[in-house]
């Protein structure tokens, strides 16, 4: 009896002492009994029997008031501790798992593409060049070309990792380092590619709805906007999309790529992701196959609803050797650097397709947050290399 009482007195004294010294973010180790707390739904409380102070924190820079985003980004290493950021990171983790599960469960082989490359994939304007033992190397913009080699060996493959683009524009949708998953399939045409894309996106969304309800609640996400995401998705041609813009009296030059406001105007016509196919070939990369008219590239871009922008870019690849050489030259790319890639069209070339889904844009959409920088732990943009 005496022992229990004196222990309680000691604890009380300790509590009073700590009350004035414990600062926000101090670390404690508490021993005690965990029991249900009827006042909070499903919550528990600890009846403490001992408290050990591990570290008294300095004055914490992030207070409960509103801070500017730039300040919070400077303190990203601390901001990650906030409830909202925690929820976003958990949803990112779940999205990554859903992506891997989808392809692993369907017989795709994981083949990692390299990060250092000797050639451009997505144009030369966003290449990060680095010195590589007295020659130039580029940080990869996309693992696609290596997946094309892999698909010729294994049938269906994917890679999933960081990609790098020297994006000089400050937008809500561009990072210089972002993650992309890129599946590639042999004996697959553009229509079969679109079938997989809609099944894949629907799977990710339903998986996150199933496993991240608490996190989505913290983010106050309007779930009704995600619950309807299932196949089929609307499929429209580039020309149809231009017609939507014209009907809305938007100033748009036929033959150019859609800018963010154009994408928003097109996507606002649909409550599901919209797949835009049949692009004027000049808008697309050298590797895209063209349709029978030779005017349009067999590419597809998927625009997420609610203005979250292009989450997927993909298409059917040119499988003819000589046409591919012609395209490489037309795009003023060095044919020599693509020697290995051209080999793929010499030894058993088959129709094949694939796509790339941007992880951070997808997480932005799922979380309902307007800026991509919160969807990656330590974002890299033109103006940010730290923390």
Binding site for ligand 4AD (CB under 6 A): 121-122, 142, 144, 165, 167, 174-175, 178, 180, 182, 310-314, 354-356, 358, 360-361
Select from ligand 4AD, Mg ion, none the partner in contact with residue 142, using the beta carbon and a kind-dependent cut-off of 5 to 8 Å. Answer: ligand 4AD
| Separation in Å, CA 341 to CA 181, 281, 349 | 20, 21, 11
Select from ligand 4AD, Mg ion, none the partner in contact with residue 356, using the beta carbon and a kind-dependent cut-off of 5 to 8 Å. Answer: ligand 4AD
Taking the C-alpha atoms of residue 300 and residue 234, their distance in angstroms, rounded to an integer, is 12
Task: Report whether 234 contacts 198 (CB < 8 A).
Answer: no
Stretch that binds Mg ion, among 27-35, 94-102, 310-318, 362-370 (CB under 5 A): 310-318
Taking the C-alpha atoms of residue 63 and residue 84, their distance in angstroms, rounded to an integer, is 14
Number of residues that bind Mg ion (CB under 5 A): 1
Q: What count of Cα atoms within 13 Å lies in the side-chain half-sphere of residue 105?
A: 8
Residue 313 interacting with Mg ion (CB under 5 A): yes
Q: Where are the beta strands (DSSP E) in the chain?
A: 27-36, 44-55, 109-110, 116-117, 129-132, 135-139, 156-164, 177-186, 235-237, 274-280, 296-304, 309-316, 352-358
Pick from 137, 141, 136: nearest CA to 116: 137
Q: In this complex, which beta carbon is closest to Mg ion, that of residue 126 or of residue 381?
A: 126
Q: Could you give the strand order of the β-sheet that contains 129-132, starting from the edge strand earlier in sequence?
A: 116-117, 135-139, 129-132
Q: In this complex, which beta carbon is closest to ligand 4AD, that of residue 226 or of residue 356?
A: 356
Location of structure tokens 């009296």? 249
Taking the C-alpha atoms of residue 231 and residue 212, their distance in angstroms, rounded to an integer, is 21
Q: In this complex, which beta carbon is closest to ligand 4AD, that of residue 11 or of residue 149?
A: 149
Stretch that binds Mg ion, among 85-93, 288-296, 308-316, 335-343 (CB under 5 A): 308-316
Select from ligand 4AD, Mg ion, none the partner in contact with residue 182, using the beta carbon and a kind-dependent cut-off of 5 to 8 Å. Answer: ligand 4AD
Q: In this complex, which beta carbon is closest to Mg ion, that of residue 87 or of residue 121?
A: 121
Select from Mg ion, ligand 4AD, none the partner in contact with residue 144, using the beta carbon and a kind-dependent cut-off of 5 to 8 Å. Answer: ligand 4AD
Contacts of 250 (CB under 8 A, 6+ apart): 261, 262, 265
Phi, psi for residue 247 in degrees, rounded to 5? -60, -25
Q: In this complex, which beta carbon is closest to ligand 4AD, that of residue 252 or of residue 355?
A: 355
As measured in angstroms, the least distance from the Cβ of 323 to ligand 4AD is: 18
Residue 299 interacting with Mg ion (CB under 5 A): no
Q: In this complex, which beta carbon is closest to ligand 4AD, that of residue 238 or of residue 246?
A: 238
As measured in angstroms, the least distance from the Cβ of 127 to ligand 4AD is: 13
Residues that bind Mg ion (CB under 5 A): 313
């Amino acid at each position: 009896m005496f022992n229990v009482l004196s222990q309680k007195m000691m604890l009380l004294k300790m509590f009073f002492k700590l009350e004035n010294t414990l600062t926000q973010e101090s670390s404690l180790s508490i021993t005690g009994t965990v029991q249900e707390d009827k006042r909070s739904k499903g919550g528990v409380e600890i009846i403490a029997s001992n408290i050990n102070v591990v570290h008294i924190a300095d004055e914490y820079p992030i207070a409960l008031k509103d801070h500017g985003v730039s300040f919070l980004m400077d303190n990203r290493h601390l901001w990650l501790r906030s409830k909202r950021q925690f929820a976003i990171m958990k949803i990112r983790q779940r999205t990554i798992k859903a992506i891997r599960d989808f392809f692993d469960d369907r017989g795709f082989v994981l083949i990692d593409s390299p990060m250092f490359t000797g050639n451009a994939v997505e144009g030369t304007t966003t290449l990060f060049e680095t010195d590589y033992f007295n020659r130039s190397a580029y940080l990869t913009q996309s693992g696609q070309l290596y997946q094309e080699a892999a698909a010729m060996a294994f049938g269906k493959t994917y890679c999933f990792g960081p990609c790098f683009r020297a994006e000089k524009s400050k937008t809500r949708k561009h990072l210089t380092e972002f993650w992309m998953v890129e599946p590639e399939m042999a004996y697959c045409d553009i229509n079969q590619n679109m079938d997989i894309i809609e099944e894949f996106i629907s799977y990710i969304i339903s998986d996150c709805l199933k496993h991240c309800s608490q996190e989505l609640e913290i983010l106050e996400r309007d779930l009704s906007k995600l619950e309807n995401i299932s196949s089929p998705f609307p499929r429209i041609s580039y020309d149809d999309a231009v017609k939507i813009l014209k009907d809305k009296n938007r100033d748009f030059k036929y033959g150019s790529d859609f800018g963010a406001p154009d994408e928003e105007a097109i996507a606002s016509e649909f409550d599901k992701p919209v797949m835009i196919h049949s692009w004027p070939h000049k808008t697309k990369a050298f590797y895209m196959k063209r349709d029978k008219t030779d005017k349009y590239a067999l590419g597809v871009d998927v625009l997420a609803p609610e203005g979250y922008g292009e989450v997927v870019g993909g298409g059917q690849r040119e499988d003819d050797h000589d046409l591919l050489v012609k395209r490489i030259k037309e795009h003023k790319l060095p044919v020599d650097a693509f020697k290995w890639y051209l080999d793929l069209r010499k030894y058993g070339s088959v129709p094949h397709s694939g796509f790339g889904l941007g992880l951070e844009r997808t997480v932005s959409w799922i979380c309902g947050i307007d800026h991509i920088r919160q969807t990656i732990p330590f974002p890299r943009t033109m103006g940010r290399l730290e923390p």
